Structure 1
Amino acid sequence: MFWVIITLAIYYDWRYRRIPNWLVLYTLPLIWGWHYYQGGWPELKGSLLGWLVGLGLLILPFLVGGMGAGDVKFLAAIGAWAGGKVALYTFLAGAILGGLWLCGRLLWQQGWAGFKQTWSKAGARLFVGLFTGQWWKEETSQTDPTAIPYAIPLSLGYLLVTLWLGR
């Protein structure tokens, strides 16, 4: 069941650069109902905790403009489905895979000079935000060299984590 949600999230994020609310928010009652059916309150409590872990891991990057709300809700849904430990590992694997994808894309599109320039701008934004508290959000689009459909690295991270954990 959850692989259908993942496949749709990848499609929408790739095609439209957004993950629709109905996909992740409206499936939560189904996920939580499934967990309650499988193991009662203890199983549901674990699912709720996993949801909070997934939400908490990406809320700060969202608040500073580093990603969309759909990515946050998607990782929270992964946490609700698979638990907090899997959400944490998926977050780490997705960050590594997304970073590799972004570096490769920047090098491919802009060469080494463009790659260094883009990372210099990103570092400056981070520095200013950390020390002044003035974060700003920019609309991302398919032409933004630093915008990637993050559902893909998160989904691949989830796949790697579930294979690693033997689930």
Structure 2
Amino acid sequence: MLIEFLSALLLGAVIYDLVSHRLPNYYLLLGLLVGFAWQAWAYGWSGVISAGAGLLTGFALFVPLYVLGGMAAGDVKLMAVVGSFLGATGALWAGAYSLIVGSLLGILYLLYKGHLGKLVVRYWAMAATRSRIAAEEGDAARHRFPYAIAIAAGTLLSLYWTPI
């Protein structure tokens, strides 16, 4: 039941993100409430503690990316919701897989647009000059990326394939 509801929640988040490039707070709050309720129903107070630890872990994993401008706040909150379902260890695995999937999708998108070379040159120049160089107006690196896709894929991957 956990996997089914979490999968449905993530599917809804992906659809929201694809259509509107945002994740509504009411939708994320609903997911958070259900995550805590499920944990409490299944495991009692230890489940509530697990949900809280997962929420904090998921949030802590992605908030630095938000602060640096590489991720939207809704994506950080979605990872926190995922953590409330999976607990701290599950949130770590889901977050790690989500970052891997997101990186691969980003690289594939830049390859598709033919802008991977521009990105590599810009980051090489940034490393050499130790200063930030903004992407040009038409650069694919400036396009919005519906990261809920990566979070959904990474979370499901972590549920079905975790090497430990």
Paired position in structure 2 for 1:118: 119
Distance 1:105 1:85, change over 3 A: same
Residue of 101, 105, 108 corresponding to 1:101: 105
Measured against aligned partners, the alpha-carbon deviations of 1:18-39 in whole angstroms (never above 9, x if no partner) come to: 1111111233222212211222
Q: In the aligned structure 2, how far is the partner of 1:39 from the partner of 1:104?
A: 41
Paired position in structure 2 for 1:76: 80
Q: In the aligned structure 2, how far is the partner of 1:159 from the partner of 1:81?
A: 12
How far the C-alpha of 1:61 sits from its partner, in A, is 0.5
Preserved CA contact (<8 Å) 2:7 2:156: no
Q: In the aligned structure 1, how far is the partner of 2:10 from the partner of 2:117?
A: 33
Paired position in structure 2 for 1:20: 24
Residue of 154, 157, 160 corresponding to 1:160: 157
Q: In the aligned structure 2, how far is the partner of 1:30 from the partner of 1:13?
A: 20
Q: Give the superposed CA RMSD.
A: 2.4
Measured against aligned partners, the alpha-carbon deviations of 1:86-113 in whole angstroms (never above 9, x if no partner) come to: 1111111111111111111111112xxx
- TM-score by length of structure 1 reads 0.80
Measured against aligned partners, the alpha-carbon deviations of 1:123-146 in whole angstroms (never above 9, x if no partner) come to: 639x537xxxxxx9x9xxxx7555
Q: In the aligned structure 1, how far is the partner of 2:150 from the partner of 2:111?
A: 18
- Report the identity percentage: 27
Measured against aligned partners, the alpha-carbon deviations of 1:15-69 in whole angstroms (never above 9, x if no partner) come to: 1111111111233222212211222111110110000000000001001110100
Paired position in structure 2 for 1:132: none
Q: Which runs of 5+ in 2 are unaligned?
A: none
The count of residues paired between Structure 1 and Structure 2 equals 151
- TM-score by length of structure 2 reads 0.82
Q: In the aligned structure 2, how far is the partner of 1:44 from the partner of 1:157?
A: 24
The aligned amino acid for 1:128 is S
The aligned amino acid for 1:157 is G
Q: After the TM superposition, which segments of 4 or more aligned residues of structure 1 sit over 4 Å from their partners? A: 143-146
Preserved CA contact (<8 Å) 2:39 2:47: yes
Residue of 116, 126, 131 corresponding to 1:128: 131
Paired position in structure 2 for 1:133: none
Instruction: Give the 5 Å matches for 1:19-98.
Output: 19-98=23-102
The aligned amino acid for 2:156 is L
Q: Which runs of 5+ in 1 are unaligned?
A: 130-135
